[in-house]
Structure 1
């Protein structure tokens, strides 16, 4: 029978892996969408007299 600390470490590792995977599934499409939206804007500098 495994010790309590090994079981907790295993649970924490699985939870961390799931959290990283879920955050990547959310962050990557959001980043790509943000780049697509930002590409539509062409910011310009204000005129010299402004």
Structure 2
């Protein structure tokens, strides 16, 4: 079973790049565009790791 990662970023290109790189490394990746969506996905998906930008 792979580690589930939630990648949160408002920039589409950055979010896609993170998703592609992590999937190639064997992680299961879910994404969110903003904090509100990230919280919803954390509750629903229960990721082990969350990656997000600060600003």
Q: Give your verdict on TM over 0.5.
A: no
RCO comparison, higher one (Cα < 8 Å, 6+): 2
Higher helix fraction: Structure 1 or Structure 2? Answer: 1
Give the TM-score normalised by structure 1.
0.32
Higher strand fraction: Structure 1 or Structure 2? Answer: 2
Task: Compare CA radii of gyration and give the structure with the larger one.
Answer: 1
Give the TM-score normalised by structure 2.
0.30
